[in-house]
Each structure stands twice: as C-alpha cells, then as structure tokens.
Structure 1
Amino acid sequence: MTQEQSTDGGSTDDREPGEMSLEELREEIRSIDREIVELIAQRTYVADAIAQVKADEGLPTTDEQQEQQVMERAADNAARFDVDESRVKAVFRELIELNKEYQRENR
C-alpha cells in the first residue's frame, strides 16, 4: 500500500517501497504490525462491550446475521484494497472466534 492509499496517516514516508532500504521496509512492517495488534485490542474491547449490552438486555451473545454482515464488509474492503477476499475473510473469521473466546473466558 502506498502512502496515498493509506487512510490512517500511519506512514510519514512518501517514498514508494522500491525507493526504501530493506531496513526501512522492515521498520514499516513492524509499525504496521503494532497498529494491527492495537486495532485487534480495540476491536476486542468493543466486542466485549457489545456482549455486555446483550447480556444486560437478555439477548443471545451470538448473532449469525451480524457475523454475516461483518464477513460481507470484509469482502467489500478486500475488493476495495485489492487483497485476496478469501484470506481477508479467514482473518475476520479468526477475529470473530477470538472475540467469542475472550467473552467466554471473561464472563
């Protein structure tokens, strides 16, 4: 992803990857990896808050329709950023399972 494609302002380097050294590229990957983990933590926090609201309202924790919508958004975003849809959906299936497991362990 080039700087122009970035939507979060993560990188401050306007050079294309081919213009960067191996170490600079590896640092970019380390930075992206940290951001991914931070976003997973944020997603887990929000998913847990949703589970708490559902528990307070007597609603079931699992919502197949909502999970399907998450998968559809994942596919749409994969297409938008030209990333393999099946792999992105696999990541999101894993995120959903991560959140379910976290909720089971913390309830």
Structure 2
Amino acid sequence: MPKNVVNFDLTAPAALKIIRHLAQESELVFLLTHVKKRMKQRHITIGQILRCLLKGEITEGPYREISTGNWRMRLELKESGQLVTVVAELYTAENGEKIIIITTF
C-alpha cells in the first residue's frame, strides 16, 4: 500500500479498544427498547452486558452497517457457564461523542 493512502477500516483490535474505553462509563452505553425486551426474555442483566463489553472478544466484525454507516460488531463472553453475546454499534453523535448501541442474545 502506498504511504500516502490512509486506511479507514476499523480493525478488531482498534474496535475492542474503543468499546472497552466507552464501556467504562455506563452512561455511554444505550440500550434500545428491543434490547430490554430480549434481556428480560433471556435473563441477561446489564451487568453481564457491560462485562461482555469490557472483557469479551469480538467474534464477528467490525463491519459497516449498511443502513446507518456505523461500525457494528459481535462480542462474546462466557461467564459462569453462560455465553453472553452482545452486538455493539459505534455511533458518533453530532457533538462528536461516541455512543454504543446494544442488542443482545
């Protein structure tokens, strides 16, 4: 690759670093209404989701979500015999602040 070309792809290690940094402040983690319903159905707690973001590994992605253009990835963490899977999307608000939007199963 020529030296004057900048690669704008988000790598898994870079995405994991961003996710872990943002997840340290739970107010930056937003749960959609759909997610809250799924959490209740699947007996998944917000604590499990946050631990997955902080300690889990990316198993899919990051890739660009076609409808939003945001980076999306799947993270998994096995904890106490239960596999927790979280799909996180990195979103940049108009003020430049990055937010994590979550779905889980």
Q: TM-score range by the shorter chain?
A: under 0.3
More helix per residue: 1
Larger radius of gyration between Structure 1 and Structure 2: 1
Report the TM-score when normalising by structure 1: 0.25
TM-score of the superposition, structure 2-length normalised?
Answer: 0.25
* Structure with the higher fraction of residues in strand conformation: 2
Q: Which has the higher contact order (CA 8 A, sep 6+)?
A: 2
